Amino acid sequence: MRAITNPATGPRPVTVGHPATGSSAVTGIRAATGISGATAIAPAHGSLGADQARALLKALSDPIRLQVIEALGDGECCVCELTEQLGLAQSKLSFHLKVLKEAGLLADRQEGRWIYYRLQGEAIEQLRGWLGELASSCTTPAIPCS
């Protein structure tokens, strides 16, 4: 269990990975990685490949999509709440939600006529791990030229 701190609401516990197995494989990294089918699975060792990391970073590269991610950081939201909170037309928001969902960063559920979105913590944790590995290797000095 980890705690994620939101400046507005303070820390909140978040379970990382599958509760039964502890697995943290990212599921749902689809078209952006070039892998077809319903689900793309990260490498078995739990870290992202470079292509998967690029797909997640590409999905996060838009300022509106970052606002969506931040809005969902407080928990699951209905599309109607997101449109009001972000001040976006529903069609524009739907496009960005689709991109984030296809990248594996969001999950959704339908309840009656309402659709609720939530963050996929596993994908975020794996991207965080990939960035951490990158950060730790950037301190390695170059081999002197001969």
Which neighbouring-strand residues pair with 114?
A: 111
Q: 39-95, pLDDT tens digit by residue? A: 333 333 467 888 999 999 999 999 999 999 999 999 999 999 999 999 999 999 999
In the chain, the N- to C-terminal Cα span, in Å, equals 49
Domain presence at residue 139: no
> Domain containing 28 — which CATH number?
1.10.10.10
Of 28-32, 68-72, 95-99, 137-141, give the lowest mean pLDDT range: 28-32
Domain presence at residue 136: no
Task: Tell me how far apart the alpha carbons of residues 122 and 91 are, in angstroms, rounded to a whole number.
Answer: 27
Domain presence at residue 146: no
Number of domains in the chain: 1
Domain presence at residue 29: yes
The model's pTM? 0.65
Q: Which of 89, 86, 73, 80 is nearest to 124 (CA)?
A: 73
Task: Tell me how far apart the alpha carbons of residues 120 and 15 are, in angstroms, rounded to a whole number.
Answer: 11
Percent composition of the chain: helix, strand, coil (DSSP 3-state, to 5) = 40, 15, 40
**pLDDT exceeds 90 at position 146:** no
Question: Is 24 or 136 the better-scoring residue by pLDDT?
Answer: 136
Q: 99, 105 in Cβ contact below 8 A?
A: no
Domain presence at residue 133: no
**pLDDT exceeds 90 at position 126:** yes
Residue-range definition of the domain harbouring residue 46? 2-121
Domain presence at residue 130: no
Domain presence at residue 143: no
